[in-house]
Chains A and B, each alone.
Chain A
Amino acid sequence: MADLVCENLGMTFTNPQTGAKVEALRDINFTLGKGEILAVLGPSGCGKTTLLNVIAGFIPPTSGRVRLGDKVIEGPGLDRGMVFQQGALFEWLSVARNVDYGPRMRGMDPEETARLVEKWLDIVGLQGFGDTPTYQLSGGMQQRVALARCLINEPEVILMDEPLGALDALTREKMQSLVLEIWKETGKTIMIITHSVEEALLLGERLFVMAPRPGRIHKEYRLPFADRGVNESLREIKHDPYFIEVREEILTMIWDMEEEIMGRV
C-alpha cells in the first residue's frame, strides 16, 4: 500500500486532423494517502473523467506524472482497479466468470480462484448468484458484480467513474453504504467521480471541486461524513446542518461555474 501522488499533471488533447489543442487538465497536484477516500465533483466537461483515465493509465499525460508510491504509472495495471458507470460487465459470461476474469487471465489456480469468488460475492451481497447470466441482473446488482470483479484483484487503489449514476435513488443509497463498508473493511484507497453533490459529501473523506477550462482543482474539503456513514444512517447525515451548509456552498459554486461556461459560449 502506498500513496497516490499526482505531480503537476497536465493533459492537452490535440486533434490529429486539425491540430487544434484543448487543455483538459492543468497543474493537478495532490497526494491521496493510503486508505483515503476521495470524491471528485465538478461541472460537466471539467476534466474529472480525464483525470481518472490518466490515473488509471488509459491515456498518458502530456506533462507531469502520476505515482503510486515510488512507481510511475505508465499504463493500466492491477494495482488500480476500475469501476465504470454501466458496470462494463462481459454480458456473455456468468456472474462468477465475470468476477474471476482477472485471476483467470493471470492463470491463477482454479480452486483458489473459486474460493476468492465465493468470498467477494459474499461481501458484495451476491451469494448464490454465481451462475446467473449478468444480462439478467438489475443495474444495482450489475454494479455489485463490477465491484467484486475489481476487488478480487486486490488493487491498491479503486477508481470509480460515476459508478452509481445510472441507479435509482434507493439502490443508490444501498450501494453508497456498500462502498463505505468496503472502504472501511478493506482499507483500500478509493477515488470516486460523481456529479451528485450529496454522494460526494457522503462518500468523500476528501472532496475536490474541479473547475473547467482548463480542468483544475478549484477547492478542496476534508469532511467527517464518510467516517460517520460507516456506522450511522446515511439519511440522518443528510439532515446534519453542517452537511446542508457545505452542500449549499458547493452547489452555488458549481452553479456559478456552469453559468460562466454558458456565458462564455
Chain B
Amino acid sequence: MFEWLSDNRATIAAVLFVLVFAAFVWSIVVGRRQSRLRAKNEVFGDPARTRGGWYWSVTGVTALVLLWGYFSWGIVRAYFPNSANEMCQVAKLEEAVSPIKAALPIGARYYKSTLLAVRNAAQLDELQAELPALPFTAAEKEDLDLLVRDIRKLIANSSNPDNMSEEARDRLAGISARLIDLGGVLRAGPTGDMTPSPEALAQPKWGTGVPEIPILPVTTRGVLFDTVSVTAAEIAGEFNKIRNHVPQNEVLMADIAARIKAFKEANKAGSFDERTADAREAYVKAVERIFKRLDDGLIFPAAALANVNSAIQDLDAASRSAQGGLRVVDALFMPGPGIVKSRTQCTEQGSARWLPKPTDVVATFARLANPDVENGGGYRGFPLLWWDWVPVADIVAFFIPDWIADIWPGEYAAHGPDGTINPKFKDKLLAFAQGDVDLGSVPMLDGHIWDSLFRVLVALAAGIFLGVPLGLFMGVSRFFKSFFDPLIELYRPVPPLAWAPLILTIFGIGDNGKIFLLFMVAFAIMVISARTGASGVQLSKIRAAHSLGANDRQIMWTVIFPNALPEILTGIRIAVGVCWGTLVAAEMLAGTTGIGFIENIARTVSDYELIWVTILIMGILGLVFDLGMRWLIRKTIPWRGMG
C-alpha cells in the first residue's frame, strides 16, 4: 500500500493539486460574496469585522500549498512527470558542448584566444616597464628588451589567419561541419529506432529513487538528445585537441629558448650579491613563464573560429526547436536555472534544490512515522512517535533517588561465610531506587516526538509548580519581591542558549540538562506572569475577603490565585512557545533523540526533505499546543476581562 502510494506520488499530487486549486478558487468566490454581504452591516473598524472568515484561511493555506508546489517543482512533476528526464538529456547535450562554448563568445563573451593574447601582452608590457630599474647591464637590458619584443611577435604570428596551417584550418572546418550536421539530426526529430531501452524504462520515477532524476532517456525525444549528446561530446573532444602551431613561430621559438637559456647561465655564472642574483633570476623566470605559455598553440585567429561559433549557435537553435513544448514547461513551471547535469547525475537547481515537494515531505514523514524500526521506519533506529512496554520499576527508580537508600539507617548487607547474601530492608530499598525489581510493565509513549514533548512538559510542569507560588508570593510580599526580583531579573534576560554550554557541562548530554535549561526559561516566565497577576488584584476584592472573615492563606488561594489565573495561563501559553523554541536549539547541541536531534543530523547531511519534515512537525506541534492553550483559557477563565 505505502509502496504503491510512494511510487505513484506524482499522480496523487496531480489529483491533489487540482483539488487544492479548486478550493483556492472556491474560497475566494465565497469570501468575496461574504464580504459584499457583510460590508453593509459593519462599518470599518467594527471588531465584528474580524469574526468568522474561515474561508480566507482556506485561501491562505491553499495559496501556500500552491506556492509550495510551484517553487518545489511539485506541480511540474505532477503534470509533466517525464519533463525532468527530458531536461536531463538536454542538459547532457549542454554539458557535452560546454568545452567548445567555453572557447567561444557564445559561451564566454570573448574568444579564449582573445583573452590569452590580451593577458599575455599585458604581462609583457609590465615586464618591459620593470626592466630599466633592474640590475642588468645596459647590453643585457637591450637584449632582454629584444627578447620580450620577439615573444610578442609569437602572439602576433598566431593571430594572423594567413599564417594558419592547412591542417588546423581543415580540422576547424570539420568541427563546424559536424556541428551543423548534428543540428540537422536534432531538427529532423527522433527517428524510428530511437526508442527508450528497457533498462531506461525500468528506472525509478522522478523523485522516488536515488538519484532523484532518472538519467537514461525514457522518451524518444530524450533518446534523440542523448544520442546527439554522445556525438557532441566526441566533437568537443576533437575540438580540444586542435592546436594552432604556426610555421613562422618554430624558428623564432627555438631562438628565444636558446636566448633564455643563455641568460640563465649568465645568471648562474656571474658572482652577484644575493639580492641582485634573486632579482635577475626572477625576471628571467617571468619571461620564460610567458614564453612557455605561448608555445602550446592555443591562440587562434578570431576569423578562424567564427565559423565554429556560428555552428554552435545553429546547434543551439536546433536544440531549442527540438525541445519544443519542453521549453515552455521549463520556463513556466521550473523556477530557477532548470536542470543541470554534472558527472553522473542530473540535479534540480534553484528553489527545487532546497524546497522539497509536498508529496516527498509526506512520504518522508510517513517513512519516519512508520513504527517498524527493523524495516526502515523511524529515524536512527528510534520511532518518531510510538509506544513501548516500560518496566514499572524503571519509573519508580526515576522518582526514588539512590540517596534515600543511603541515608536509611544501618549498613548494606555483606556476603556471609557461606558466600550467600541475606538482603536487609536497606538493600531492598536500594534495589527499588535502582530499578532492580520486577513490578511488571506498562505501555508508555516512545519516540523522538515523545522525547521532545516529555522534556518540554516536565520542564513546564516544574516551572509552573515552582514559579507560580513564588510569583504569587512576590506579588503580595515586599520581602519576596525584593529578595527574588534581582535574582530572577539577572538570569532571565540571558538567552537560554548562552547557558547551554554550562548546563551541558554540569548535567551532561542526557535529558536532565535539557530539562533544566527549559525549566529556567519556563520558571522565569511563570514567576513574572504570576507576580503580575497577583499584584493586579483589586484592593476592594481583598478587603471584601478580609471583611468576610477569610484568613491570609484563604485569601491567597481563593482570591489572589484565581485573580491571577488569566495572567498565569497566558504565561503558560508564552512559556510553551519559548520552551519549544529553546528545546530544538538545546537538542541541536547534544543528545541522540528528539526532533531537534533529527534536524541537526539532517542539517549536517543537507537532507532538505528531512529538514522540512522536522520544521513542519515542530510547527504543527507548536500550533497544537497553542490551540490547546487557547481552548483551555476559554474554558477555565470565561470571566477574563469582565471583573
Contact = CB atoms under 8 A, between A and B. Distances in A.
Main secondary structure of the interface of B (DSSP, over half): helix
Residue with the highest number of chain A CB atoms closer than 10 Å, among B546, B547, B550, B643:
B547
A105 B551 contact: yes
Contact of A92 (B540, B545, B547, B637): B637
A192 B538 CA distance: 21
B549 A102 contact: yes
B548 A92 contact: no
Given A78-B549, A101-B550, A105-B558, A84 B543 contact: yes
A105 B543 contact: no
B52 interface: no
Given A133-B638, A135-B642, A92 B546 contact: no
5 contacts: A77-B549, A82-B547, A91-B639, A150-B547, A153-B549
A95 to B, nearest CB: 13
A85 B543 CA distance: 12
Given A80-B547, A82-B544, A135-B642, A88 B637 contact: no
B603 interface: no
Interface in B179-236: none
B606 interface: no
Contacts of B563: 92
Interface in B609-643: 637-639, 642-643
Contact of A135 (B548, B549, B639): B639
Nearest to A105: B550
Given A133-B638, A135-B639, A153-B548, A90 B554 contact: no
A65 interface: no
A264 interface: no
Interface in B294-319: none
B127 to A, nearest CB: 85
The 4 A-B residue pairs whose C-beta atoms are closest, nearest first, are A135-B642, A88-B540, A102-B548, A76-B546
A85 B559 CA distance: 18
A88 B547 CA distance: 12
Interface string A60-93: 0000000000000000111011101110101111
Nearest to B563: A92
A58 interface: yes
B541 interface: yes
B639 A106 contact: no
A166 to B, nearest CB: 12
Contact of A84 (B544, B558, B562, B639): B544
Contact of B548 (A58, A93, A149): A149
Nearest to B638: A133
A92 B562 contact: yes
Nearest to A85: B540
Interface of B: 538, 540-541, 543-551, 554, 558-559, 562-563, 565, 637-639, 642-643
Contacts of B637: 92
Contacts of A149: 544, 548
Q: Most B CB atoms within 10 A — which of A82, A88, A149, A153?
A: A88
Nearest to B541: A88
Contacts of B540: 84-86, 88
A133 B563 CA distance: 15
B639 A82 contact: no
Interface in A136-157: 146, 149-150, 153
A92 B565 contact: yes
B547 A56 contact: yes
A101 B565 CA distance: 19
A101 B550 CA distance: 8
B63 to A, nearest CB: 40
A58 B539 CA distance: 11
Contacts of A133: 638-639
A101 B546 contact: no
Given A90-B562, A92-B565, 16 more contacts: A76-B546, A76-B547, A77-B549, A78-B548, A78-B549, A81-B547, A82-B544, A84-B540, A92-B637, A92-B639, A102-B548, A102-B550, A105-B545, A105-B550, A146-B544, A150-B547
B547 A101 contact: no
Contacts of B538: 88
A111 B514 CA distance: 51
B559 A90 contact: yes
B537 to A, nearest CB: 10
B555 to A, nearest CB: 9
Contact of B643 (A84, A105, A135): A135
A79 to B, nearest CB: 10
Nearest to B642: A135
Nearest to A75: B546
Contacts of A57: 547
B543 A76 contact: yes
A150 B547 CA distance: 9
B562 A106 contact: no
Nearest to A86: B540
B270 to A, nearest CB: 95
A63 to B, nearest CB: 23
Contacts of B551: 105
Given A82-B543, A105-B554, A91 B642 contact: yes
Nearest to B544: A88
A86 B550 CA distance: 20
Interface in A210-231: none
Nearest to B636: A92
A207 to B, nearest CB: 24
Contacts of A58: 543, 546
B545 A101 contact: yes
Nearest to B555: A105
Contacts of A101: 545, 548, 550, 558
A182 to B, nearest CB: 17
B482 to A, nearest CB: 15
Nearest to B562: A92
A133 B545 CA distance: 18
A149 B549 CA distance: 12
A169 to B, nearest CB: 24
A96 to B, nearest CB: 15
Nearest to B545: A101
Contacts of A84: 540, 543-544
Contacts of B545: 90, 101, 105
A182 B562 CA distance: 32
A56 B545 CA distance: 12
A57 to B, nearest CB: 8
B593 to A, nearest CB: 41
Contacts of B546: 58, 76
A56 B554 CA distance: 19
Nearest to A106: B549
Best-buried of B544, B550, B554, B559 by chain A (most CB within 10 Å): B544
Nearest to B543: A58
Nearest to A146: B544
Contacts of B562: 90, 92-93
B548 A77 contact: no
A56 B543 contact: yes
A105 B540 CA distance: 18
Q: Quick one: which of B541, B549, B551, B642 has the most chain A CB within 10 A? A: B549
A224 to B, nearest CB: 31
Contacts of B565: 92
A91 B544 CA distance: 13
Contacts of A82: 543-544, 547
Interface in A30-79: 56-58, 76-78
A25 B643 CA distance: 32
A105 B553 CA distance: 10
B460 to A, nearest CB: 23
B566 to A, nearest CB: 10
Contacts of A78: 547-549
Nearest to A102: B548
A33 B541 CA distance: 29
